[in-house]
Amino acid sequence: MPYRAELTTEASAAAEDLRELDSYFLLLAVFGVVVLLTAWLPLVLKELPLSLPMVCIGIGALLVLSPFSPIGGVNPLENRYLTERLTEFVVIVSLMGAGLKLDRPVSWRAWGSTWRLLGIAMPLTIAGIALLGWAFLGLGLAAALLLGAALAPTDPVLASDVQVGPPQSGKEDEVRFALTSEAGLNDGAAFPFVYLAIAVALSQASGGQPFLADWLLIDVLWKIIAGVAVGWIGGKAMGFLVFRLPNRTGLSETRDGFAALGITCLAYGTTELANGYGFLAVFVSAVALRSVERRHRYHENLHTFAEQIERLVMMILLVCFGAAIAEGTIFGALSWPVIAATALVLFVVRPLSGWISLAGYRASTSEKAAIAFFGIRGLGSFYYVAYALGQAEFEGTPVVWVTVCSVVLVSIVIHGVLVTPVMRHLDYDRSAQPVAQQEPPL
């Protein structure tokens, strides 16, 4: 009997190993399909009222509902650290790609729409969403601030359909430029408000400890200055190494696009070590790199590699997001107030804030409306919430998570459906205008 029991145990262990091996191979096959779709789907969806993120979420949901699913739906709330790190990586790669494809030199006048969206629209959006969090969702001050800071920035990852084209492609009209530059800078600009939410939460937990002076000096002044300075100096230095070294020893001679990943990680890591905003530094370093040599074809290599990495990681994360939605627990705290807040964020708060910020700006009414409306929310919002929850405890955390997930999901669907016809209409109107009216406001 002991011998038979031992044989039975060994057989059960072998069967378990075989099942794990089958799951592993199935997961590899699914990953292969995702990689192939990463390359192919943008071509298929180009003329359709669909977006790549929408398809990714659908794939994730179908995988969970399939009886042969190799992945399970997992609520990001239950995997905070993994959510933070994965979304952090895809955002910094996306910021590098966004900075590399901007052809327009930095100036106060040429980037007028950007400064308006950052200085007026984003604070108004944060205040409006925080008010919704308090009035509609019953959140406290800290959680409401966190919700506003997390949902205010335009996402650089999911906004690719409304961004400018590759470097030197000529696809840099005012709508695309405004949304690209805004997405590149407002991730760093939103971080002071995330830290403000953290400071309020910590102060409340410690019985009212003062925090305003430290927040202004460190989280606002120092971190922004460090992010811009390290990013600009680092970008200029990298520009010298890439384009200016003598005897054909510049990095551009390698033609290797994966150097973009090295530049991204170097800019982000060094800035975070200097206690600055790494998101801000990555975008600034890309812009500074372009300023050293604007017309070199190596920019296209760098941008192409960054875009491919961004698209692949984005697809993986959104497949997991779709799987989590299909699993069911991610929307366990969904309620009518959350649904109302979602609609108000996407259809009232952001469009109204964007429209106010562009008052008096030299652009057509349709262009202003498009800039104000296409404030796409995405993976960056997940990062902010996951990061903040690792720094302090917030009341109403499930409500914050479900609201962020709801806004991101609806944003992906609504903006994904509308972006192709709206941008095609704007391009048609622009082509019918005299050439002089198509020039950017330099």
Mean pLDDT of 288-300: 85
Q: For position 53, what pLDDT does the model report?
A: 85
Concatenated DSSP letters for 378-410?
A: -HHHHHHHHHHHTTS--TTHHHHHHHHHHHHHH
Confidence of residue 12 (pLDDT cuts 50, 70, 90): low
Residues in contact with 198: Cβ distance below 8 Å, sequence separation at least 6, in sequence order: 142, 146, 388, 391, 392
Burial class (CB in 10 A: 0-12, 13-18, 19+), 134: middle
**CB atoms near residue 75 (< 10 Å):** 19
Top mean pLDDT of 48-62, 311-325, 379-393, 424-438 is at 379-393
Q: Is the pLDDT of residue 237 over 70?
A: yes
Burial class (CB in 10 A: 0-12, 13-18, 19+), 282: buried
- Interatomic CA distance for residues 200 and 206, integer angstroms: 10
CB of 142 closer than 8 Å to CB of 395: yes
Q: Which residue has the higher pLDDT, 292 or 332?
A: 292
**CB atoms near residue 313 (< 10 Å):** 20
**Could you tell me which of 82, 62, 83, 64 has the C-alpha nearest to residue 73?**
64
Q: Among residues of the chain, what percentage have pLDDT more than 70?
A: 87
- Interatomic CA distance for residues 209 and 70, integer angstroms: 48
* Rg over CA atoms, the chain: 23
33-47, 227-241, 292-306, 319-333: the lowest-pLDDT one: 33-47
- Chain segment 144-187, per-residue pLDDT in tens: 999 999 999 988 877 667 777 778 776 778 888 888 889 889 88
- Chain segment 52-75, per-residue pLDDT in tens: 888 888 888 887 777 655 555 556
What are the structure tokens assigned to 43, written together? Answer: 């071509």
Letter for the amino acid at 15?
Answer: A
Q: For position 21, what pLDDT does the model report?
A: 52
Burial class (CB in 10 A: 0-12, 13-18, 19+), 74: middle
- Interatomic CA distance for residues 97 and 92, integer angstroms: 9
Confidence of residue 269 (pLDDT cuts 50, 70, 90): very high
Residues in contact with 386: Cβ distance below 8 Å, sequence separation at least 6, in sequence order: 76, 80, 81, 83, 84, 87
- Chain segment 85-144, per-residue pLDDT in tens: 989 999 999 999 888 888 888 888 889 999 999 999 999 999 999 999 999 899 999 999
Q: For position 20, what pLDDT does the model report?
A: 55
Q: Which residue has the higher pLDDT, 210 or 78?
A: 210
DSSP letter assigned to residue 78? G
Alpha-helix residue ranges (DSSP H) falling in 46-140 = 52-65, 80-100, 112-116, 122-135
**CB atoms near residue 391 (< 10 Å):** 14
Q: In this structure, which topology does domain 32-433 adopt according to CATH?
A: Na+/H+ antiporter like fold (1.20.1530)
What is the overall mean pLDDT for the chain? Answer: 84
Q: Is the pLDDT of residue 434 over 70?
A: no
Q: For position 416, what pLDDT does the model report?
A: 83
- Interatomic CA distance for residues 307 and 321, integer angstroms: 20
- Interatomic CA distance for residues 13 and 20, integer angstroms: 11
Which residue is listed with tokens 């391009």? Answer: 427
Confidence of residue 9 (pLDDT cuts 50, 70, 90): low
CB of 336 closer than 8 Å to CB of 401: no
In the Cβ-directed half-sphere of 225, how many Cα atoms lie within 13 Å? 7
Mean pLDDT of 238-254: 77
The three-class DSSP label of residue 71 is coil
Residues in contact with 55: Cβ distance below 8 Å, sequence separation at least 6, in sequence order: 37, 41, 45
Mean pLDDT of 415-423: 84
Mean pLDDT of 3-15: 52
- Interatomic CA distance for residues 227 and 241, integer angstroms: 21
Confidence of residue 225 (pLDDT cuts 50, 70, 90): very high
pTM comes to: 0.88
- Interatomic CA distance for residues 176 and 317, integer angstroms: 25
- Chain segment 141-151, per-residue pLDDT in tens: 999 999 999 99
**Could you tell me which of 97, 243, 80 has the C-alpha nearest to residue 167?**
97
What are the structure tokens assigned to 184, written together? Answer: 């590149």
